[in-house]
Amino acid sequence: MARFIVIESLDGVGKTTLVRNLAAALGGIAMSMPGPAIKPLREQIHTVLGDARIAHALFYLAIAAAEGAKARAAADAGQSVVMDRFLASTIAYARARGVDADFDALLPALPRPDVSVLLTLDEDERVRRLGARGEMSVADIQSLDPVFRGVVMAELGARCDLQVDVTGADENEAVRRVIKAVGCLPAGL
């Protein structure tokens, strides 16, 4: 049974909420990239890394190696782990920002999830939700560019095991759709 589950998507699809709700439904733990300890420092780290796009990709890869190892260990010990973004996002965003590195050569050395799910949402609805967030991040704005979005979605689609569309789904229905697609059992069953 899948215990280390990765959820990937563009920004604004509802990934973070879904990760939290799915982890609760499975009686498991929610994790995120780059993780709560790094998140407050992220802007500072981006400033230090500057224009070197490969540096940003390597930063996220290092975090994926570290957080992925923790997730893998917890899953191997019998816990369900739901991770908000992982290697597919790291590679997809690096590619969309023009980094031309052989990421696939590194994959065998990195922790592997049991299943990765690409969450999709009707694009008009996604744009509406991003707008409703108030201030958009640089990444949010980049995801509105059709070329950028196309590269990210092509990479995510090629690298995820499953795709689940959550258009028209409320929070609970989104969890049900993912559980059905993954075939994992909610807590208590």
Q: How far is CA 76 from the centre of its chain?
A: 20
Which range binds ligand TMP by CB under 6 A, 69-77, 81-89, 109-117, 124-132? 81-89
Indicate whether 99 belongs to the interface with ligand TMP (CB under 6 A): no
Closer residue to ligand TMP (CB): 139 or 185: 139
| Distance (Å, whole) CA 151 – CA 142 | 11
Indicate whether 116 belongs to the interface with ligand TMP (CB under 6 A): no
Which range binds ligand TMP by CB under 6 A, 69-77, 89-97, 114-122, 171-179? 89-97
Closer residue to ligand TMP (CB): 5 or 33: 33
Task: Answer for the pair 17, 178: CB distance below 8 angstroms, yes or no.
Answer: no
Closer residue to ligand TMP (CB): 1 or 52: 52
Indicate whether 55 belongs to the interface with ligand TMP (CB under 6 A): no
Task: Answer for the pair 10, 143: CB distance below 8 angstroms, yes or no.
Answer: yes
How far apart are CB 176 and ligand TMP at their closest, in Å?
A: 23
Chosen residue from 5, 8, 11, 160 binding ligand TMP by CB under 6 A: 11
Closer residue to ligand TMP (CB): 1 or 41: 41
How far apart are CB 105 and ligand TMP at their closest, in Å?
A: 18
Closer residue to ligand TMP (CB): 157 or 186: 157
Nearest to 111 by CA among 17, 1, 3: 3
Indicate whether 9 belongs to the interface with ligand TMP (CB under 6 A): no
Non-local CB neighbours of 27 within 8 Å, separated by 6+ positions: 80, 186, 187, 188
> Residue 88: what are its φ and ψ, rounded to 5°?
-60, -45
- Provide long-range contacts, Cβ within 8 A and 24+ apart, for 18-21: 18/119, 18/166, 18/171, 18/174, 18/175, 18/178, 19/82, 19/83, 19/84, 21/171, 21/172, 21/174, 21/175
Identity at 187, one-letter amino acid code: A
How far apart are CB 33 and ligand TMP at their closest, in Å?
A: 4
Q: What angle do the packed helices 87-96 and 53-76 form, to 10 degrees? A: 170
What residues line the site for ligand TMP (CB under 6 A)? Answer: 11, 33-34, 60, 84-85, 89-90, 93, 139
